[in-house]
Amino acid sequence: MKVAILQFPGTNCEYDTVYAFKKLGAQTQIIWHKETALPTDIDLVVVAGGFSYGDYLRSGAIAKFSPIMKAVKEYANSGGKVLGICNGFQVLTEAGLLPGALKRNESLHFISRHHNLKVINNDNIFLEKLTLNDVVNIPIAHHDGNYFIDPVGLKDLYANNQVLLKYTDENGNESNPNGSIDSIAGICNKEKNVFGLMPHPERAMELILGSDDGVKMLEGFLSA
């Protein structure tokens, strides 16, 4: 499996993402945002976390204009797999590849800690290695992780099984750290080839670091 990982000015999770996918046996390549094309033989594009362009203006709002994003849109629209993690999720919503938007956390504070997530839908390649209602422990680290979508859009998300993950406690009861509507932590597009989540599975690859629940989350892509 070959994974292309995007790098913008301010990205800071690209090397964590490289480590995570190499640990799973994948080949990785970091793609600078000024490139105009993706490698032709890749199986997955990851828009990594961080603070693209310093989150000036609005998180992900400048990154969506980077040259590489035109290629990412073309890749996604042709059925290619795309994963946006944290700031990458923000970039994908700003680019129109995922519905909704990410706002400032309800508390107005940056949050950095492990948090539990419950699997809401696993009928997709991203979470197929997990079981419905599984609870995993994954780090979060964001200031603008408050997911919002209007009532019509929210209804569509549920109708199409696009809500993938929710914030919960260790027992699977909703526990919302940032004000996201319906405690939503991750979604996909209708075609189920573009995925976005605020938590960081690439930081949950080893028990010594607090959790290895990210392994099963990312392993699904290996069967693409």
What amino acid positions are annotated as catalytic residues? 86, 200, 202
Tokens of 7: 């790098």
Q: Is 150 helix (H, G, I), strand (E, B) or coil?
A: coil
Question: Rounded CA gap, 119 and 63, in Å?
Answer: 29
Tokens 């960081």 correspond to 200
Q: Could you tell me which of 86, 103, 182, 92 has the C-alpha nearest to residue 140?
A: 86
The separation between CA 222 and the C-alpha centre of its own chain, rounded to angstroms, equals 16
Whether the Cβ atoms of residue 196 and residue 145 lie closer than 8 Å to each other: no
